[in-house]
Amino acid sequence: MSLEARREMVGKDEHVSMIRQCELLVIHRSGMYYSPVEESEENLSLMLLMVRQYLKTPYYGIRRLTAWLIKEGYKVNRKRVKRLMKLMRWLTIYQKPNTSKPNKQHLVYPYLLKDLKVERRNQLWEIDITYVPMRRGFMYLCAIIDVHTRYVVNWGISNTMTASWCREIVEEAIEMHGQPEIMNSDQGSQFTSLEYTSLLSDRDIPIKISMDGKGRAIDNIFIERLWKSVKYEDIYLNAYQDGVKLYGGLKDYFQFYNTERLHQSLEYETPESLYLKVA
């Protein structure tokens, strides 16, 4: 049955549950799209420039980025740039410690990956959220990658970054692939919340929780490389107009990434072939 036929079937019955709708549309629950966040045309242009610039100069802070945009001909101030950076989850990379204080109500976990030798699948997963520009607005993409094989075990899109959204993506990944020994993330409020961490720590066999140092995106390097691949190989090339097309395009891309795209670091194997090989 085609996707259009499934959508028509869902539309005829107002009482179809969300889970059943996802089953009929062959969509995982956390992948249900929402309306993109609306912004002015100028802000969208600025954010597109900024996300491209981030891949070149991730060490730029508010002052440098504001100065760069002014040199590019935009009339901006630091307050405006700071707001857009927050929407984009711009994480400036630098070596010195960040003195900003995390939410005191949330427990921050230590970084467990120093000198860790990753030798098998499901030993270490990394999770992160990135900003996705579209022609009319933007959305957020969350994904989980198995570090040993580079296999994307699950992903989803949303117009808000909530702990419940991240938790659902992790739940689905565990249902499909089993649980990892360690889950690594940054110190974003979604990942330090009890709603998210309890899913990992309250299991029969607890999942160890690892968190990057504040302001150090390089600690989550493998998923940062995934974001670069997704954006340059799919998102920038297609300039998706809405959530439906974005979801469909990302679904095709991650299928390609897992099953067809050859990785030099994997000796030109695909993530799926290696993930299944070491099962």
- H/E/C letters for each residue in 37-55? ECCCHHHHHHHHHHHHHHH
Tokens describing residue 267: 């000796």
CA distance 258 to 166: 21
| pLDDT in the model for residue 18 | 55
The pTM (predicted TM-score) of the whole model is: 0.73
Q: What are phi and psi of 124, to 5 degrees?
A: -145, 125
For the chain, 279 residues long, the average pLDDT of each consecutive 10-residue run is: 46 55 57 65 84 79 90 90 84 48 67 92 95 84 96 94 94 95 93 95 96 67 90 89 90 95 86 84
| pLDDT in the model for residue 98 | 41
| Every domain of the chain and the residues it spans | 1-32, 41-88, 124-277
| Sign of the dihedral through C-alpha 106, 217, 238, 145 | negative
Cα angle, residue 211 at apex, residues 207 and 212 outer, rounded to 5° = 150
Give residue 256's identity as a one-letter amino acid code: F
| Sign of the dihedral through C-alpha 214, 56, 37, 257 | negative
Report whether CATH 3.30.420.10 matches the domain 124-277: yes
| pLDDT in the model for residue 6 | 46
Helix axes 41-56, 78-88, angle to 10 degrees: 70
Question: Within 13 Å, how many C-alpha atoms sit on residue 170's CB side?
Answer: 29
| pLDDT in the model for residue 27 | 56
Beta pairing, strands 151-158 & 182-185: unpaired
